[in-house]
Amino acid sequence: MLDEHIDAATVNRIMKRRDAFLRDLVSYYPRSAPVIAKSLRDSSNDEKALEDAVADALGIMGYHVQRVGGKGTPDGIATVRLGRRSSESSQSYALTYDAKSSGSDARRMLDPEKQKPSERPARIQAGTARTSVLRVHRERAAEQFNLDVAPRFTLLVAPGFQGDGDEKALIGDICRNDGITPITVEDLARLVELFPLRRLTPLKLQELFASHTPDGTRAFVDAVQEQDPPAAPPVSEVIELLVQYSERRTPVTVDTIMTAVYERRGIDLDRDETAAIVRGLAALAPATMYFDGQIVALNATPQGLLGELGQTLNEYPHRLAGAYKVAIPVPKQRGEENQ
């Protein structure tokens, strides 16, 4: 467009509208964990895109996400309903979240040759974090948005934080004071990638919000990455169940799969473990597998599901996804299904 002598302001306005359209278009289609992780990394310099990517990340990890934005409000609210555990009170919880991009390092679409890529992610200053404002947003959210689960935590996502790695840095003090959990874009992206492979649940993720320093949240993600991978998931049994029960009036649920896996393979999983396995598979194959937290269904043929799982897992190193790769049956070629 510049070659056609269209002025820079008009080009900039058109490009922004194009980007907004593409973001909206992409949001209509399910994306796998690695794709969402890449979206997080790619959006560090674009605040609106980063807001959307954080919402997608929380959504794929099992939260119901309400996107908000605007003056005087958080970027969004994420809620998970876990219900009661025996005689305990409900374990359901909610959090507000905000994303801060690196405005100073934002890409210049009109003159990219003059932009030298940063050697490390830009770090927001403690004052830029505005943690006291984020705390107010959290405290007002239940009444402001008529929530039945009041937010208890606030997640702050940024490319980096000034003072990260320094125990005496101001960012840790203000985040502890205001109950803020700061996490870098890179660490959140890593957590999204690990989520389907480590059978993480929102109940386990609640431990993340006890951290109030970037170092603390990074240590949580490091611990998840370094833990021994779980046993190979019963992928074949899940697919067989979905095919077998596809014509039933009663939908397949987590409880259905939990019972059938025990009866068929003698694997005694509790409901949370079963839900984590199913949610992980859906995060790896969102186009061909449906899961809403309770009901499970196929969006394609079993071969289509296996193909998508295999394609997504190929993006992971074997040390992270080895157990899952072994558990995925090799899709049959055309003509073999009838043999």
Q: What is the pLDDT of residues 260-292, one digit of tens each?
A: 888 888 888 888 889 999 999 999 999 999 998
Alpha helices in 214-301 (DSSP H): 214-226, 235-244, 254-265, 271-284
61 residue type, one letter? M
What pLDDT does residue 106 have?
Answer: 37
User: Per-residue DSSP letters for 3-38?
Assistant: GGT--HHHHHHHHHHHHHHHHHHHHTS---HHHHHH
Compute the distance between CA of residue 227 and CA of residue 220 in angstroms, rounded to an integer.
11
User: What pLDDT does 242 receive?
Assistant: 84
Backbone dihedral angles phi then psi of residue 252, each to the nearest 5 degrees: -80, 130
Q: What is the pLDDT of residue 34?
A: 93
- Please state the separation of Cα 177 from the chain's center in Å: 26
pLDDT at 232: 79
Residues 208-241 have pLDDT tens digits of 999 999 999 999 999 999 988 888 788 888 888 8
In sequence order, the 6+-apart residues with CB closer than 8 A to the CB of 27 are 52, 56
DSSP string, 292-336: SSSEEEESS-HHHHHHHHHHHHTTS-HHHHHHHHHHSPPPPPTTT
> What residues contact 38, with CB distance under 8 A and at least 6 apart?
189
Following CA atoms 12, 13, 15, 18 in sequence, which dihedral angle do they give, to the nearest 10 degrees? Answer: 170
Whole-number pLDDT of residue 31: 81
Nearest to 282 by CA among 39, 57, 61, 58: 61
Q: How far is residue 21 CA from its own chain's centroid? A: 22
Which regions of the chain are under pLDDT 70?
Answer: 1-5, 11, 15-30, 85-88, 102-129, 166-167, 330-339
Q: What is the pLDDT of residue 188?
A: 97
